[in-house]
Structure 1
Amino acid sequence: METKIASLTHWLNDNGQFQLSENICVNENEISGRGVTLSSGIIRQNQPIVSVPSACQLNFHTVLYHISKFNSRIRIPNVTEKAETDKIKENELDPRYRAYGILNQDFLLNLSSFQLLELYILGEWILLPLWSGNQIKSFWEPYFAVWPSQDELKSFPAVWKCSKRSDYKDLLDLLPTASKNNMLRISNLVENDWQKISPILNAWNDLFQSPLPLEDQFEKFLHIYCIINSRCLYTEVPLKKDDILSKFTMVPFVDFLNHTQDVDLHCFPKMESLNRSSHGLGPFSIYCGNHTYQTVGEEVLLNYGAHSNDFLINEYGFVIPNNKWNYIDITPEVINMVKDSTIQKFLENNGYWGDYTVSAEDASYRVIVALSLIVTGDFRRVEKLLMGYISEDFFLPKIKPMLYKILAQLKDRSMACIRTLEKNANPDFCRQNLVIIHQDYIEIIEKNLSKICT
């Protein structure tokens, strides 16, 4: 890995104003994988840690710029390659002139950032070596070289569902509601993206008689999706200003920083002013937050957001024991108790249908409203509750038995899932993640059951 990091750093230095603190280094361990640690000195608040030039970021703009080098019909002001009279002819040996030459500008602009990057990375990283007999390397090769392998990203539930080769399909039935909902959301995005870009892959296969079957390409595509999803960083993308899911960039070296559940304490990102050249969006930098790094070996961390484990496992493939942002989604359990359509209609009309959660502190107000109506059937008083004329304390004694029953059943279910997961004396990383999720659920439930009983 040291050689790959050195090559990456050399590449970054060669392609813009790359800055890296002399006090940090990249380390690798079995628990957190690759990460950035303090190697010497002290890093204080607002000191720069790393700044990556625009030209070395992967995003909607830089991909279009690089594609335009091989397709002169792609012309987007302030984004693509400027036409030159001495431009290399299209019959040059580089197969990308043929591959990218079939791409239409309108088609590319209508792709999401995810779809464009998936297609481009698949072409540059996976297919270009096959097309060129390993004679041509992508500009992005030093960045590709430090990406995790398929085996390292096997812990994403969407991979268990979408991959025909996953050994973990049995774990899908052990996902709690919130995890399952996130898994289904991402799986749908994966399938939709594949449907969008697969016609181009078919055309490329016909063009080059690719030895890699489409089924194998899908597995590579799934791997690339997980890499993008787990490493993208939010930033404004002018060409995608109306598509929130497309507003991201991928930043070498920055994506070595691991997640902390502490918000506004460790490092923070800063996107410099937009670069109106044809090389992207502007430098992306990381600065030290309120925390002072002064112990050699201490990991330099970045908060990815206030996310529960149900979200983290699906978006990043890992979980955090005792994650303070955890909650339990009890929506199916509550909805199954609704036997009267008028109750459902009342809750829908007032914006209280679904999204019923319980945290370590208490059940959400939405749960209290729904259970109050289900238990009492008193529409008039529940309406007064919503208007603030009646305190929720009026309903709590009435709904506690039902809430207790729901939580007790969920505790039993989590305990049963843990027993299933631990049948193997040495559960692997994927199973350990689910064990942690269910253990944290049990802790949340026990705290709430204790409060209900007092």
Structure 2
Amino acid sequence: MDKRIENLLQWINNTVDETYEPSTHSYISPKTIVKDDAEWGRGICATEPVRTKELIIRIPPSFLLNYTTVLKHICRHNDANKLEDPHYLKVYIPPTEVKDEFTKIYSFMNVEDLTNLSSFQLLSLYITFESQRQESSFWKPFLDMLPPISDFVSVPLTWHVLKVPQWEKLFDSLPESTRKHAEKTIQRFESDYETVCSLLKSKIEPNTTTTTINDDTSLLLPIDLFLWAWMCINSRCLYMDMPQKKNNSDNFTMSPYVDFLNHSCDDQCSLKIDSTGFQVFTGVSYKPGDQIFLSYGPHSNEFLLCEYGFMLNENKWNDLDVSSYILKALTAQQVSYLKENDYFGDYTINVDSGPSFRTEIALATMQEDQPSTSRKLQALVNGMTDGDAYELNSKILLDEIFKQVIKECEFKKNMNPIDANDDSNTILRKKVIKKLYDDRNFIVERHSL
């Protein structure tokens, strides 16, 4: 590990791109160090006092892995590809690069092929290829520091794709809202993989008669390797505007060293992106030995598990999705009213603040036989009243829902007892599922009558 970190630092401290003005060389604060932690895993810690608003990391554009840099690196292999946007001109690439089977495939691709891919698809393809190129890849020091697929054993997506032991039973025992989130993640992954495979086939098959390229897409783009690349992107991408892309979901970058910062519910660092690169400033002061954190956003444990592969012991953004319980109790008139006012579905209870406003509206609507004619209800929807008239009965309705939640939690938690024959990964997955139900129970206990 120490050697790989040393290689990474040597790589990102490369100053060959300083011909650009202003200078875009990297900066890693000498007051920090990468350190393994029993609870958090690999993270960045202070070795001496660090002040608030102090710059601790700067990574120049050429060492960021995103739509712009990947397109520049791939397009160099096809002379017909012309990138005139000034953003591409700022990206440094080595003057020479080793040619191999993968760079040959790059040479078949034109700008239109690549720009039709989403950033997620393009980076997944590129990282899968570059990881197989090993020493020939410019990005090897960065790729070597990405987490192995074993770091994502608790992500439901990996259960499905890799068909791990007991995966179907484990998947079915997830809370409904978690399962739905996981299913959406699976759809995204499968769509991306299919799109990239289709592009490769369309480029390779017409050229296999004159080259020695392997035309088996499953060998060039193994689904398990693509899954690893996809999960690394999903768990480590940071927002960065990509001027060449119009879809907001394409606006992200991967950044070496920055991705060592672990997640906290509270913002402890701020990010700045300009011509000098991706910069991280402290939001609070740190003492020697303190770990430096970065908030990935206001995400519940359910989200963190499905998207990143970890959960927090305490998470102020945890919520309980009670949509299914409310929706099955609504009458046709109540459903119609909620749809007309754009309040149908997505009903949650936050661990700290309690029912969301959408949930309060739904509970109030359940108390009206003819909601469309209720002035009292419309006043609440319009923000003219605070809903005091509905509060008591809303609590009673919510308490009945909580009883159903507790019953479901007890049943589902007992579906997956740890068995003596379970391997360590299966045991971890079962503990993860138990934690999800424990989180739900905690919210219920906190907001019950």
TM-score, length of structure 2 as denominator length:
0.87
Partner of 2:20: none
Secondary structure at 2:36 match in 1: strand
Question: Post-superposition shift, 1:165?
Answer: 4.7
Deviations 1:104-148 (A, max 9, x none): 21111121111111111111112x35xxxxxx5100011111111
Taking the aligned partners of 2:121 and 2:383, their CA distance within structure 1 comes to 47
> Is residue 2:101 matched to residue 1:95?
yes
Q: Deviations for 1:374-398, whole angstroms, at most 9, x for unmatched residues?
A: 2331421423432456552212233
Q: Who is 2:9 aligned against?
A: 9
Q: Are the structure 2 counterparts of residues 191 and 343 from structure 1 closer, same or farther at C-alpha, using a change threshold of 3 Å?
A: same
1:288 equivalent to 2:282? Answer yes
1:239-318 residue pairs with structure 2 within 5 A?
A: 239-240=244-245, 242-263=246-267, 266-273=268-275, 282-289=276-283, 291-296=284-289, 298-318=290-310
Q: Distance in 1 between matches of 2:320 and 2:2?
A: 41
Q: CA deviation at 1:23?
A: 1.4
Return the letter of the residue paired with 1:180. R
Q: Does 1:228 align with 2:238?
A: no
Identity %: 29
Q: Residue in 1 aligned with 2:335?
A: 344
Superposed displacement of residue 197, structure 1: 0.5
1:153 correspondence with 2:129: no
**Partner amino acid, structure 1, of 2:244:** L
Q: How does 1:359-370 map to 2 (within 5 A)?
A: 359-360=350-351, 361-370=353-362
Structure 1 unaligned residues grouped into runs of 5+: 130-135, 274-281
Q: Matches of 1:284 and 1:388 in 2, distance apart?
A: 42
Of 14, 31, 43 in structure 2, the residue corresponding to residue 23 of structure 1 is: 31
CA contact (8 A) 2:128 2:221 kept: no
Deviations 1:398-421 (A, max 9, x none): 333332111111122223333334
1:114 paired residue among 114, 120, 123: 120
The residue identity in structure 1 corresponding to 2:13 is N
User: Quick one: which amino acid aligns to residue 394 of structure 2?
Assistant: I
Are the aligned partners of 1:68 and 1:81 in contact in 2 as well (CA < 8 Å)? no
Shift of 1:209: 2.2
1:68 touches 1:80 (CA, 8 Å); kept in 2?
A: no
SS in 2 for 1:51: strand
The structural deviation recorded for 1:43 is 0.5
Count residues in correspondence.
422
Secondary structure of 2:292's partner? strand
Kept in 1: contact 2:121–2:192 (CA 8 A): yes
User: Distance in 1 between the 2:221 and 2:107 partners?
Assistant: 24
Contact 2:262 2:294 in 1 (8 A): yes
The alpha-carbon distance between structure 1 residues 219 and 370, as it changes in their structure 2 partners (threshold 3 A), is same
Query: Cα offset for 1:424?
Result: 4.1
**Counterpart position of 1:185:** 184
Please list the CA deviations of residues 266-304 of structure 1 after superposition, one character each: whole Å capped at 9, or x if unmatched. 22211123xxxxxxxx51111111x211132x2111111
Work out whether 1:65 is the aligned partner of 2:59: no
Amino acid at match of 1:208: I
Partner residue, 1:124:
130
Distance 1:239-1:42 versus aligned 2 partners, 3 A rule: same
Shift of the 97–4 alpha-carbon distance from structure 1 to 2, 3 Å rule, reads: closer
Contact 1:385 1:391 in 2 (8 A): yes
C-alpha contact 1:321 1:440 (8 A) present in aligned 2: no
In 2, distance between residues paired with 1:236 and 1:329?
32
Is the contact made by 2:58 and 2:279 (CA closer than 8 Å) also made in structure 1?
yes
Moved more, 170-179 or 307-316: 170-179
| Deviations 1:302-353, CA, capped at 9 Å, x for gaps | 1111111111111211000121111111111111112x32221111001111
Cα distance in 1 for residues equivalent to 2:313 and 2:285: 24
Structure 2, unaligned stretches of length 5 or more?
18-24
Match of 1:34, SS? strand
Instruction: Label 1:267 to 1:217 Cα distance change in 2 as closer, same or farther (>3 A).
Output: same
Q: Tell me by how many angstroms 1:182 deviates.
A: 2.2
Distance 1:185 1:93, change over 3 A: closer
Deviation at residue 231 of structure 1 after TM alignment: 0.6
For the residues of structure 2 that align with 1:220 and 1:67, how far apart are their CA atoms? 19
Deviation at 1:156, TM superposition (A): 1.4
Q: Is the 8 A contact 1:75 1:81 kept in 2?
A: no
Structure 2 residue identity aligned to 1:26: V
**Distance in 2 separating the partners of 1:164 and 1:421:** 17
1:12-38 deviation line (CA, Å, top 9, x unaligned): 112551111111111124432211112
What is the CA-CA distance between 1:58 and the residue it aligns to? 0.4
